[in-house]
Amino acid sequence: MIESKADYLAYLNADRIALGVAPTWRNRLVDEIWRFQRQLRRLEYLNNCRRNLIVRKFAALRFNRLSTRLGFSIPINVFGPGLSIAHRGTIVVNANTRVGANCRLHVCVNIGAGAGSGGRAPVIGDNCYIAPGAKIFGGIVIGPHTAIGANAVVNKSFPEGSVTLGGIPARIISTKSSQGLMTPSPPL
């Protein structure tokens, strides 16, 4: 969670590296996903550290407009540093979800609370890769270095990590971890 200006800048740098975006003015203006992630981190910083209500409301308005245009429903204070959204398109994340550092998301991912779970949402570890169409729900724990395959439905915990999950319902299909599936971000 961003708790200072230094945290804010570190999160931005980790996200930029995870996305593989060069720090140029052209990328700041043209790359919509990078713009979304910058706006997400700015809103987190303003919400957690600053008290100016007018600035926060304006940032929230810009964030919501960009979210709608790109098809993202991603609340603030969910993802750790090094978030990498691979494509524009539908991504829905529950506000109670907690995701560690260096997560890579693809299109049509849903992460949310399961029916009858009392609003409990997944806790996902560091260095996780979530492939297109994956559905993760309920009060479950996904360990670090986990790769979740395309269209997998994960509804039970896999806390050990360093595995590949796939299928409906998800099961361990390989002991291969998420290593090599994403760009590593520098440690904070």
More confident residue, 90 or 180: 90
Residue 187 in domain: no
The pTM of the full predicted model, rounded to 2 decimals, is 0.87
- Would the pLDDT of 124 be above 50? yes
Q: Are residues 38 and 107 in the same domain?
A: no
What domain range includes position 25? 5-71
In the chain, % of residues over pLDDT 70: 95
Q: For residue range 62-79, what is the model confidence (pLDDT) as tens digits? A: 999 999 999 999 999 999
Residue 77 in domain: no
CATH of the domain at 133: 2.160.10.10
pLDDT attached to residue 182: 66
Buried b (16+ CB within 10 A) or exposed e, 70-85: bebebebebbbbbbbb
Q: Contact, 32 vs 70, CB < 8 A?
A: yes
DSSP tag of 115: T
Residue 43 in domain: yes
Q: For residue range 91-105, what is the model confidence (pLDDT) as tens digits? A: 999 999 999 999 999
Strands 171-174 and 147-148: unpaired
Residue type, 35: R
Residue 183 in domain: no
For the chain, what is the domain count?
A: 2
Q: Are residues 166 and 129 in the same domain?
A: yes
Residue 181 in domain: no
* Mean pLDDT of the chain, nearest integer: 89
Q: For residue range 156-187, what is the model confidence (pLDDT) as tens digits? A: 999 998 899 999 999 999 888 777 676 654 44
* Nearest alpha carbon to residue 76 among 101, 50, 43, 124: 43
Distance of alpha carbon 73 from alpha carbon 67, whole angstroms: 6
